[in-house]
Structure 1
Amino acid sequence: MRTLHVGLRVSEPERSLAFYTAVGYRLVGTVEGTAHGSLTMLQLPGDDFVTIELVHDPARGAAGPGDGLNHLVIQVESVAETHADLAARGIEPGPIERPGGPAGPQTCWISDPDGYRIELVQWPDGHPDGLTRADFR
């Protein structure tokens, strides 16, 4: 088993697509007229598969974190470079932090147009690409 992707309800699909492409996602395709509304499939350049589906259904009203999602996490090669690149694109990241101490990961936070929080993570050298049991010893 594996998680395939996360569907995020969005209020304005064009605004959300502009945000996520500025972050680095690529548009893979769209599906109109589903029971859930219109779907926009996004993928990061290093991923083999779609990881985010933007779901727009105007009949459901405003979208946002009140729907129950806490945050998404995106691994980046360099938090400092990503921070500067996003700021240059008009996205204001929060400060760079080291929540695990000096030897731990570097992180910073951004929010999408609907208020969904996104944590950007740079793992320390030698860390696997994701959380493992070793992170909870």
Structure 2
Amino acid sequence: MIKFLHTRIRVSNPEESIAFYEKVGFELGEQKTSPQGNQLAFLHLPGNEHFLELTYSPDYEVNVPEDLMHTCVGVPDIIEYCEKLENDGIEIWPSGWKEKFTSGERKMAFIDDPDGYEVEILEVS
């Protein structure tokens, strides 16, 4: 069986990105330097096998075009989760997300990481 192991994204400030993803719920695993000299940090969500690999190269300028890609996390209670993120200083979009959730619309929101990568949030049972 083939397994999907990790996704790599380039970041401009590893410490800031790690702190952001820890607020989202990721846990920091291994950190190391690659043979090419890149700083690598592997993060995972408890209970998941797939890792998010953050890669930092001092000579690489990170410029994430809008809507290039996104990751997605599923949570059991999106209102509770988004309120926690807001309390941690993370902006949820679209604006008015809480009112939309109470009106019966699909419960989906987004946040942006420090470099502009989107993280979709879905309520899952």
Structure 1 unaligned segments of length 5 or more: list them: 126-137
1:46-85 equivalent positions in 2, closer than 5 A: 46-47=47-48, 49-61=49-61, 63-66=62-65, 69-85=68-84
Q: Distance in 1 between matches of 2:37 and 2:120?
A: 27
TM-score, length-scaled by structure 2 = 0.83
Q: Distance in 2 between matches of 1:67 and 1:11?
A: 16
Tell me if the contact between 2:24 and 2:85 (Cα under 8 Å) persists in the aligned partners. Answer: yes
Structure 2 unaligned segments of length 5 or more: list them: none
Q: Residues 118-137 of structure 1: CA distance to partner in whole angstroms, max 9, x if unpaired? A: 100113x4xxxxxxxxxxxx
What's the RMSD between the two structures over aligned residues?
Answer: 2.3
The residue that corresponds to 1:10 in the other structure is 11
Q: Residues 31-57 of structure 1: CA distance to partner in whole angstroms, max 9, x if unpaired? A: 11432611100011231x242000000
Change (3 A) 1:7 1:68: farther
Q: Which letter maps to 1:31? A: K
The number of aligned residues is 119
Change (3 A) 1:79 1:67: closer
TM-score, length-scaled by structure 1 = 0.76
Tell me if the contact between 1:28 and 1:50 (Cα under 8 Å) persists in the aligned partners. Answer: no
Give the number of the structure with larger relative contact order, counting CA–CA contacts within 8 Å between residues 6 or more apart. 2
The residue that corresponds to 2:86 in the other structure is 87
The residue that corresponds to 2:118 in the other structure is 117
The residue that corresponds to 1:132 in the other structure is none
Change (3 A) 1:107 1:90: same
SS at match of 1:60: coil
Q: Distance in 1 between matches of 2:111 and 2:28?
A: 20
